[in-house]
Structure formats: structure tokens, C-alpha cells
Amino acid sequence: MSEIKSMLPNSIKQAREMIANGELTVSGLVNEYLKNIKDKNGDINAYLEIFEDVIDQAKELDGKIGEMENKPLFGIPFSIKDNILISGKICSAGSKMLENYKAVYNATVIEKLKDAGAVIIGRVNMDEFAMGASTENSAFGVTKNPHDLSRVSGGSSGGSAASVAADMCLASLGSDTGGSIRQPAAFCGAVGVSPTYGSVSRYGLIAMASSFDQIGPIAKSVEDAEIIFNVIKGADKMDSTSVLGEGKGKKENTLPEKLKIGILKYNKTGVSDEINKTVEAAAEKLKNLGHEITDIEIPNIDYSVPCYYVLVPAEVSSNLARFDGVRYGLYAEGSNLTDDYMKTRGKGFGAEVKRRIMLGTYVLSAGYYDNYYLKAQKAREIIKQDFKKAFESVDAIISPATANTAFKIGEKSDNPLAMYLEDLFTAPSKVAGLPAISVPFGAGEGGLPIGVQFTAPWFREDILFKIGKELEK
Ligand code: GLN
């Protein structure tokens, strides 16, 4: 891999300046990224496809440079996770089931990116239907970590995180159900934001677990993530769960200069020492910047992962029932209709997807519904209340984003439980529907990136961006 990084901007602001100054055209900028992709993607496997119209998109923008002022993402090259629909393009969700499926409309977030002037370079790899934490569940090969090619990029938005970290785009959109934006961002040294549930439209996102899924940015800095979030957020008539969030759940609409930040009380065994130390160092830095640091407990937090792995498979089993060989994607002919379904799903779905459909069907079945699904719903409410109470005394919570740095390819792929535990720190906020950010801070053994996570009250992304920017400074 040759080093051409220096030619590339480090932020949206810098890219805009370069374009505005005439230092670089949008086409010129896009060409730099395309060169980098050519150089690196063979090793990393982040992109599944580079769109053939990317240069046309750039040229069109070069002809409209006068509109730059009003378009916050003018000329900014993006990669898009392969579960977000782009009209006329294949959207595979990392699955054989949808290998040749072409989207027939744009996701709302894509409309918004385009309106803001973004260039969409291509679609990037992910765990199949967003189920996983390493991209090893993709039907199209693993995405490697740009910092160490023997390691995973994290998942499920591994392609998004790796493409940003390896300068194969300036920013990306991923999706987070239980950690899929923040964990790969942490593993690759990028910033990842999982917005408040309902703040970003899910219209055009291939559903995994609809009461958890949110689209969010993966970017090179907190400021970039904030710019992108402000473009994609907002109520959408095509998604009845989307809400404006103005004033909702906010103690007040002001953002105080000095905040009260709670360090999450958690069991430190099983979390690598370098990560425990990094979180302490981050808290210390924020204290020195004048914020008040205190301890905070979420009493029932340990039930988050078990609760998640009951509710998510339940929703998966329902959402994925649409892949029946009739309406979307792959069709494998059997001897009758039931056999058609079995052959289609048998061939189209990978092992993890099948596992979740079976788990989900089980927890929803008549005899077990009360014991599992209903109980998990109750646990979800209790965890939500725990957070609500915590946010009466703190403005944000600091914790690790992950228990470990990027692990070796193959290290956990035969152990679903170990893989599920990757969500230890990222699942709780999703169970509660809260916004959370992972910000790179320091590095572990071998120079591997570490992410520190902040969680804020519902619709208080502004708090996350403020703390994140101060930490990153
Ligand atoms: N690792 C988690 C899972 O497999 C999270 C995935 C996600 O956020 N899409 O469910």
C-alpha cells in the first residue's frame, strides 16, 4: 500500500475549504479516494461495489459550485453500509439472499445526503443482515482492520469503519442495533454515533430488529459526525417511529459549559486492562477541563445483553419472514411451496441468521412467550428506568465502548456467545433507546485503537458532541 494520505483532507471542513479555494475540484477529490481504494481495498475488503456513476456525481457537483454554501456535505465522498437502499443499486445486506437485489427507491437518509451535496462512492461490507460483531458473517468475505490486517474491523458496520479509517472515503453511514456503529468505529479508530431511537428515519434501511435499529454516522472526527447527524436527523412521514425530538426528553434546551459526567460502575474482570485505564484517563482529562466526574450505577445493566438477545432474535424472526423466495432476492425451487421456502432460506441465509430466526421463533412460541419475550420486555423497561434515574443526577455517562481491542480474524467466529459479549457496553443504550458515541482515545497494545463511549439522555446528541470534541482536542 503506497502512502498518498497527505493529499486527502482530514475533515469535512478541510475538504470544503479545499474545494472552495479551488485547490481541488470535487472530481479531483473523488479521484484521490478512488486511487486509494484501488490501492487498499484488495487487502481490506471494505467496498463490495464502487458505483459506476461516481465520477458523474462529482462532475455534476463541479458544475454547481455556486450551491456549495447551502449544502453542508458538498463534494464529501461517502461510503454506505450495504443495508441502506440506494435506488437502482444492489443492496445485499451482506447476504446471498439479496446478492442481486436492486433497490427500487432511496432511503430517506440517502435523499438527505444527496440534497446536502454528498458523493456516494459505493456500498460497503457488513455482517449478514447486520447480525454480528466482526463482518465475518458477511457472505462476501471478512473486512480486515486497516491497523492490522490479521484482525477484524468489527461489525456489523465493519466496511463503513474500515473505509473511513483507511481513507477510502471521508465518511460513512452505518446502522446500529446493538453496537454495530460504535464497536467497529472503536476497533478502527473512527468516531461512531448511534443516535436516539427515532431521531433518524429508518425508511429504506433493511430491517434487522425494528425497535433497536438506527442509522448513524462513522467519521474521522466528532465535528464531522455532528455535521452528518444534523443532515440525516428529523421526522419522516415514511417512518412512523421517527420523531423530531425538539424538546423531547430534554431537561432544558441549554447546554451548560460544565457538565456532570458519571463513570459507569462495571465489572472490570473480562475487560482488558488497557481499556479500563483508558476510560480512567479520559475521565481525568474531562475533569481537568472543568467537568465534574462522579460514579454512576445502572443497577440492572447486566441484564442488557440477555434482554437484547431475546428481543432482537424475536424481531429478526418476524422481519426476515419476508425473504421467502417470492418477493425479494434469491429463489430456490423445491417440490412444493413449503419446500420452496426451505430451499430458498437454506441456501440464502448464513448460519448466524438461521440461528437467530430459530431463537426468535422459539422465544415467541406459545409455550415460551411469557417466560422469554414478555420477561425481556419487562427487563427492557426496568433498564430504561435505571437510565432515566441516572440522568436525573448526571448529564452523560462515560464507559468503555468495547471490552477489548480488535480481535484476530477467526478468534471468535466459532463461539456465538463470545461474539454476543462484544456488545457488553453497546447494547445497554440500545435497550433504552439512548444516543451514544464512541470516540477514539489512546491506543492499546500494537497501536490498536481504543474507543471511549459516552451515553446521553434521549435526544441529547448535543451533549455527546460537546464532550466528544473536548476529549478529542
Ligand atoms: N453484535 C450485535 C448483534 O449481532 C449488534 C449488531 C448490530 O448492531 N447490528 O446483534
Please write the tens of the pLDDT for every residue from 161-210. 999 999 999 999 999 999 999 999 999 999 999 999 999 999 999 999 99
Choose the residue to mutate in 187, 218, 423 for probing ligand 1, maximizing ligand atoms within 8 Å of C-beta.
423
DSSP for residue 127: S
Query: Measuring from atom 10 of ligand 1, which residue has the nearest CA?
Result: 131
* pLDDT for 250 beyond 90: no
Q: What is the mean pLDDT of the chain?
A: 96
Catalytic residue (one of 180, 201, 399, 413)? 180
So what's the pLDDT on residue 210? 98
> Does the beta carbon of 352 lie inside 6 Å of ligand 1?
no
Q: Which of 134, 138, 136, 181 is nearest to 161 (CA)?
A: 181
Task: Read off the pLDDT band of 3 (50, 70, 90).
Answer: very low
So what's the pLDDT on residue 1? 44
What does the alpha-carbon distance between residue 329 and residue 326 come to, in Å, rounded to a whole number?
Answer: 8
pLDDT tens digits, 260-298: 999 999 999 899 999 999 999 999 999 999 999 999 999
Active site residue 160: no
Helix (H) or strand (E) holding 27: helix 26-44
Range of the domain at 117: 2-247
> Does the beta carbon of 132 lie inside 6 Å of ligand 1?
yes
Ligand 1 mean position to 75 CA, how many Å? 31
Exposure on the CB side of residue 416, measured as CA atoms within 13 A: 9
Cell of 134: 466482526
* pLDDT for 361 beyond 70: yes
Q: Is residue 20 a part of any domain in this protein?
A: yes
Helix (H) or strand (E) holding 416: helix 416-420
Active site residue 79: no
So what's the pLDDT on residue 2? 44
* pLDDT for 248 beyond 70: no
What does the alpha-carbon distance between residue 154 and residue 158 come to, in Å, rounded to a whole number?
Answer: 5
pLDDT cut 70: percent of the chain above it:
97
Q: Which of 303, 278, 316 is nearest to 381 (CA)?
A: 303
What mean pLDDT is predicted for residues 415-437? 97
Task: Read off the pLDDT band of 246 (50, 70, 90).
Answer: low
* pLDDT for 65 beyond 60: yes
pLDDT tens digits, 225-243: 999 999 999 999 999 999 9
So what's the pLDDT on residue 40? 98
* CATH number for position 227: 3.90.1300.10
Number of domains into which the chain is organized: 1
What does the alpha-carbon distance between residue 178 and residue 171 come to, in Å, rounded to a whole number?
Answer: 21
Cell of 405: 481491542
What does the alpha-carbon distance between residue 182 and residue 342 come to, in Å, rounded to a whole number?
Answer: 35
Cell of 387: 437510565
So what's the pLDDT on residue 190? 98
* pLDDT for 108 beyond 90: yes
Q: Is residue 126 a part of any domain in this protein?
A: yes
Q: For residue 11, report the phi and psi dihedrals to the nearest 5 degrees.
A: -155, 165
CA–CA distance from 72 to each of 46, 256, 464 (Å)? 26, 26, 20
Active site residue 11: no
Q: Is residue 23 a part of any domain in this protein?
A: yes
Catalytic residue (one of 79, 134, 156, 201)? 156
